[in-house]
């Protein structure tokens, strides 16, 4: 059982990744993201997830630097993820995009670098570039985001390295069952983005009932469900009290019955784009 905010899962290459982190999608660069990252580190978070397209990598880097100084930590204590954007995919352009990301973050290396979306006819060349970055020891782990089973099967026909992580939309209404069994078989760790369905689940009656019984918020119940289902989770928040509340999920456990009730809410509803049909 995952017992604390610093607990990790071991990726298939031996790198340890925290089960819980801070997402910063749509968090404004500058003061807002700097404060969010610093507050997360202050309150025990050890994983920060950003992306080139979020346009806040500079602020994230500043928040990490200031946060570790104030908490008496080192760079090695923080697990940092970023992603190559669709317009930068391809072999040479991915290598250039990685350099730019590192430069903006002000870091010497990344802990995890992901292909953000499976851009047709490009993601295999992108993956070759990411494998090079991994072999050159510029990133400790590599993976993908928003890949369906068929994207992974296609990638694995030519990949030398199996992705360590697949970060996908995941919440009680999108249980990703086929993907879960495929990734488990291949040793690919799943990670949830939009675990709270952008707030659309917070008044769901089944979740509210379970939360009341536990004396918890609905968000805490969902995030606990993520982890008990073996998903790393990275809820986004900019409010300090919410950053604390979201992470306060390590001193209770959902019963098998409650897990099944939440699992049963699945109806394959997405709040984001379908990886088979996106136009960005």
- Catalytically active residues are 54
CA-wise closest residue to 83 among 107, 110, 64: 110
CB atoms within 10 A of CB 215: 8
How far is the C-alpha of 17 from the C-alpha of 35, rounded, in Å? 23
How far is the C-alpha of 3 from the C-alpha of 253, rounded, in Å? 10
Q: Report the chain's C-alpha Rg in angstroms.
A: 18
Distances (CA, A) of 192 to 61, 110, 171, 197: 22, 19, 7, 10
SS3 assignment, position 264: coil
Pairing state between β 110-115 and 139-145: parallel
CB of 148 within 8 A of CB of 276? Answer: yes
Q: 210 — phi, psi (to 5°)? A: -65, -40
């Amino acid at each position: 059982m995952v017992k604390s905010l610093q607990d990790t899962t071991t990726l298939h290459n031996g790198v340890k990744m925290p089960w819980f982190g801070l997402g910063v999608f749509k968090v404004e660069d500058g003061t807002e993201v700097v404060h969010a990252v610093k507050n997360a580190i202050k309150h025990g978070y050890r994983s920060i997830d950003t992306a080139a397209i979020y346009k806040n990598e500079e602020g994230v880097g500043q928040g990490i630097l200031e946060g570790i100084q104030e908490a008496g930590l080192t760079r090695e204590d923080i697990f940092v993820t970023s992603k190559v954007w669709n317009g930068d995919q391809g072999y040479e352009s991915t290598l250039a995009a990685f350099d730019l990301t590192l430069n903006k973050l002000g870091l010497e290396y990344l802990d995890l670098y992901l292909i953000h979306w499976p851009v047709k006819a490009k993601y295999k060349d992108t993956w070759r570039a990411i494998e090079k970055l991994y072999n050159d020891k510029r990133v400790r782990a590599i993976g993908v985001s928003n890949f369906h089973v068929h994207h992974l099967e296609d990638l694995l026909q030519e990949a030398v390295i199996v992705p360590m992580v697949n970060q996908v939309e995941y919440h009680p209404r999108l249980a990703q069952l086929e993907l879960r069994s495929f990734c488990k078989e291949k040793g690919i760790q799943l990670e949830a983005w939009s675990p709270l369905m952008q707030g659309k689940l917070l008044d769901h009656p089944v979740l509210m009932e379970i939360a009341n019984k536990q004396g918890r918020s609905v968000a805490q119940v969902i995030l606990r469900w993520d982890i008990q289902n073996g998903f790393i989770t990275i809820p986004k928040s900019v409010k300090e009290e919410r950053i604390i509340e979201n992470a306060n999920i390590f001193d209770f456990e959902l019963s098998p019955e409650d897990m099944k009730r939440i699992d049963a809410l699945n109806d394959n509803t997405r709040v984001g784009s379908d990886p088979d049909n996106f136009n960005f």
